[in-house]
Amino acid sequence: MNKQNQLTEINDSGKSYIIYKSKKGFDLYTNFSKKIILNSKNVSSFLSRRYKNKLKNTDLFIGFFGYELLNNLINIKIPKQKNINFPKGIFYKPETKISLGNNLNYKNNNNIKSKNNFKININRKLYTKIFDKFKKKIKVGQTYQIKICTKYKKKSKIDPLDFFCRLSKSNLAPEAFMIKDNDYSIISCSPENLITKHGSLISTKPIAGTVKKNQSMNKTKALNYFKKNIKETKEHNMIVDMERNDLSRICKVGSVKLSRTKVVEEYKDLFHYVTLIKGRLKKNVKNIDIIKAMMPGGSVIGCPKISTLNLLNKQEKENRNIYTGSFGYIKFNGDMRFNIIIRSILNFKNASEISVASGVVVDSNAQHEFSENYIKAKALIDLFK
Amino acid sequence: MIYIIDHNDSFTHNVVHQFSLFDEVECDNYNNLNKKKLDKASVIVLSPGPGSPIDYPSTSNIYKKFKSKKKIIGVCLGFQQILFCEGAEIVEQKKIFHGFQSKIEVISNKSLFKKGKKFKVGRYHSLKLKEPFKNKDFEITMRCLTSKVAMSIENKKDKIYGFQFHPESFLTNNGNLLIKKILSA
């Protein structure tokens, strides 16, 4: 049986499955023997449990931590928010792994087109108000950079595989993934790796700075654009020092190094400004320590992390669910790979939500950032057409 | 042993790693300090952090208690904390420097560092020292070349040193050397 047929067959069988971008293509995980729904009480024991490594390629747990759970883990309080009762985190133990190529072919001709439009939870006026409030917080030094999150929602049923295949064709993101389960699905074209851990080596690759590709913008020009743009440069610098800090909590003294500094990575539609930071873990550091040090990923929150999280949580009236959480896997041998969940659709109880955020620094402009948010959401909103 | 007081910053562990190159380091949060470690330490470092010195009265108390008994080093908020305890006013500045790389210059011949030396540093500060600031024991020893904002203070008598910029930032050239020199002073 060829692999494309296999994909269609698994999808049509109604089984739950996960697809995660690999270096060469995509990996599909299915036949789940365990499903662990995480909450603030069981997350520590889930992360501290040790498993015998049987050296099978399915000796791992794959799933996600939502934003709220990551706050719980580092003892940051979230006031009561509007909630859709979506689980705070879910991990699966797969029994089957299938490698797929980069071209995922699947077409659903019966896609249900829904006529109603997405509704945004913060309009331009309210956004500007929040923006001005945060700008004042920057002036008095309570935060140096903060990301305002807006959410687009609509009632809809979707075929997640159809959405994911179309999304991967237009944007082959290095941390893309999808989850299809009975009562929910997630589709994401996340570009950002937060944790890659092999043995005692760990790395993180923050993105700060994005520019759209067009005929006049090539890789060299993109690098020049980022270098000359003081606002992008400052935001990037801040994230680099913050990620160095987070790695330093768990790494050996002198081992945290910038492995690639401020380089441009090229994707199908855009260029990203990225830095790769590596370190060697201290002895006796456990995976739970790593997760608490690194998550939620700083580049999507702002800086400094604790006071900025507190400002955000006080402001936000609605639960972020998966947005700015992390998806990935923990192998039984302790190795891990996690991304930052952005550019994602969560479909739960026949409603879809897309969250986006953009940064407030001292010299950003509310109108520009509000439009920027819409541009980020548009690629996902367009999938519904 | 060097005891670093963390003010919930996202740069404190860069400071920890930098000081660890030279001595044993302990680090605790400002609201969870350990008296034994405080007493044992030969150097106290006040970390960077959000907000203003007035938000951290416990750190002010520690400064006053250990001034002239132990070497004290302040970074960013820590620098402002020292000045604040010495009667200075810490005020908002028109142009804000977050993630900014600036060129600064050693301007005093009373500095541990050579007068006239210029180098690049990383800055993360909304607030600054209001000037004129006069204190017979404290000398402003470095300034930003363009904005002229005070970038370091030194008090040789009591062995107190402060930097408005971040010696631990990847944006600062030779930050390790700077710390090495201060620690051996």
A136 touching chain B per CB within 8 A: no
Measured in Å, how far apart are chain B's first and last C-alpha atoms? Answer: 15
B159 touching chain A per CB within 8 A: no
Q: Which residues of chain A, if any, have pLDDT below 50?
A: none
Question: Both tokens of residue B95?
Answer: 């142009």
A285 touching chain B per CB within 8 A: no
The 10s digit of each residue's pLDDT in B144-179 is 999 999 999 999 999 999 999 999 999 999 999 999
Residue B143's pLDDT is 98
* Residue in B closest to A261 by C-alpha: B170
- Inter-chain CB proximity B14 and A304 less than 8 Å: no
B157 touching chain A per CB within 8 A: no
Residue A112's pLDDT is 64
pTM beyond 0.90, yes or no? yes
Residue A253's pLDDT is 97
CATH architecture of A3-200+317-384: 4-Layer Sandwich (3.60)
- CA neighbor of A20 nearest in space, from A62, A66, A67: A62
Residue B127's pLDDT is 96
A299 touching chain B per CB within 8 A: no
- ipTM for this prediction: 0.97
Q: Which residues does residue B67 pair with via DSSP β-bridges, in sequence order?
A: B70
List A residues 340-369 in contact with B (Cβ-Cβ < 8 A). 361-362
Provide mean pLDDT across the span B23-34: 97
The 10s digit of each residue's pLDDT in B32-91 is 999 999 999 999 999 999 999 999 999 999 999 999 999 999 999 999 999 999 999 999
Helices (H) and strands (E) in chain A, counts: 10, 18
DSSP-derived secondary structure letter, A79: -
Active site residue B168: yes
B10 touching chain A per CB within 8 A: yes
Residue A147's pLDDT is 92
* CB atoms near residue B37 (< 10 Å): 14
Q: Can you give the residue ranges of every domain in chain A?
A: 3-200+317-384
B15 pLDDT more than 90: yes
Active site residue B144: no
- Inter-chain CB proximity B100 and A237 less than 8 Å: yes
User: What are residue A250's phi and psi, to 5 degrees?
Assistant: -120, -5
Residue A109's pLDDT is 67
Q: Which among A140, A233, A249 is the nearest to B92, CB-wise? A: A140
- Inter-chain CB proximity A242 and B11 less than 8 Å: yes
* Residue-range domains of chain B with CATH: 2-184 (3.40.50.880)
* Residue in B closest to A360 by C-alpha: B98
- Inter-chain CB proximity A244 and B14 less than 8 Å: yes
Q: Are A178 and A18 in contact (CB under 8 A)?
A: yes
- Inter-chain CB proximity B99 and A307 less than 8 Å: no
